């Protein structure tokens, strides 16, 4: 499928979406802050390359899922502005994906960093 926009315009749209998520997404800002804290700890404790790989992957996964969740919520609000059971289920299940990844990130962070404290 051919794009109607230049590659530069596509990047502009992506950065606008990121700006929207940062400025209006409280959860996204919290997740970025926690991700930056994990990166800071990684630098302080000089974690291994494999630990960096795991850390970067889980931080990225949480942020991607939050962006998808935010997108899905906006789409559901457009398609179903009235309160409906299916709309609630769609939003709750999308939020659950972020929750699962966030819990996994806590476990991964604990596996990487707890031994460094002792």
Which residues touch 39 (CB under 8 Å, ≥6 apart)?
Answer: 55, 59
Phi, psi of 4 (to 5 degrees): -85, -10
CATH match of 7-117 with 3.40.50.2000? no
pLDDT at 2 > cutoff 80: no
* Predicted structure pTM score: 0.91
The residue assigned the tokens 């939020």 is: 95
Pick the catalytic residue from 51, 66, 73, 85.
66
% of the chain residues with pLDDT over 70: 99
Q: So what's the pLDDT on residue 1? A: 67
Q: How far apart are CA 106 and CA 20, in angstroms?
A: 26
Is 66 an active-site residue?
A: yes
pLDDT in tens, 47-103: 999 999 999 999 999 999 999 999 999 999 999 988 899 999 999 999 999 999 999
For the chain, give the percent of residues with pLDDT over 90: 91
Q: Using CA atoms, how far apart are residues 11 and 87, in angstroms rounded to an integer?
A: 31
The C-alpha atoms of residue 114 and residue 56 are separated, in whole angstroms, by 18
- Model confidence over 50-62: pLDDT tens digits? 999 999 999 999 9
């Amino acid at each position: 499928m051919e794009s109607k926009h230049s590659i530069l315009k596509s990047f502009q749209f992506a950065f606008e979406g990121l700006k929207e998520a940062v400025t209006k997404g409280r959860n996204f800002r919290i997740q970025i802050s926690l991700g930056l804290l994990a990166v800071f700890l990684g630098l302080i404790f000089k974690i291994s390359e494999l630990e960096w790989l795991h850390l970067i992957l889980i931080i990225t996964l949480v942020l991607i899922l939050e962006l998808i969740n935010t997108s899905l919520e906006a789409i559901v609000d457009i398609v179903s502005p009235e309160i409906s059971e299916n709309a609630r289920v769609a939003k709750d299940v999308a939020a659950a994906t972020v929750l699962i990844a966030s819990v996994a990130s806590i476990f991964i962070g604990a596996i990487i960093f707890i031994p460094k404290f002792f």
